[in-house]
Amino acid sequence: MSGCIIYITGLSGSGKTTIAKRLHQLIPHSILLDGDEIRNTINKDLGFNNNDKKENIRRNNELIKLLYNQGFTVICSFLASIPEERDKLFDNNMRIIKVQLTTPLEVCMKRDSKNLYKSHPSNLAGYDVSYTLLSNPDIVIDTSNKTLDECVRIIKEKYDSYNID
């Protein structure tokens, strides 16, 4: 069994978790790492200032590498708004499918299932602080004009092209 990383990033409300959960159902031997779940468990000691965000991303990257090295397909759904820390994961010689969701902020704000935007947060990437898109993503999807099934199909086809079993 060889590993693969499917790294899905985008603004809060762009559909990262929804897409990742569906992929997790379809891909055998996969593990789902969701930013909200990790923030509420192993990283609950961290806040949302820049240093804590960097540490959150660093820990996430280490966890991803541990699971990948065990041969799992690691499906990640992270906002990961600090590129200099986030992109350290991509410097390694690993099979990674980088997925950038480019859903417009207005659409994300309408979806706002966690009431993040309604609470007028400070330090929320893409809202009141900058969010840097992935450089050289393998896949770019605007979820405002695609169905969930279309989004999942696009990513799954790329995954299947790696012939991972």
What is the set of domains in the chain, with CATH numbers?
Answer: 4-160 (3.40.50.300)
Q: Which residue has the tokens 């569906």?
A: 22
Q: What share of the chain is helix, strand, coil (3-state, %, to 5)?
A: 40, 15, 40
pTM, to two decimals: 0.89
Spatial contact of 48 and 163, defined as CB atoms under 8 Å apart:
no
The 10s digit of each residue's pLDDT in 129-148 is: 567 888 899 999 999 999 99
The reported pLDDT for the residue numbered 119 is: 56
The 10s digit of each residue's pLDDT in 64-114 is: 999 999 999 999 999 877 788 888 888 778 899 999 999 888 887 787 666
Say how many C-beta atoms besides its own lie within 10 A of residue 155's C-beta.
23
- Tell me the C-alpha distance between 154 and 66, whole Å: 26
Two tokens, residue 9: 């990033």
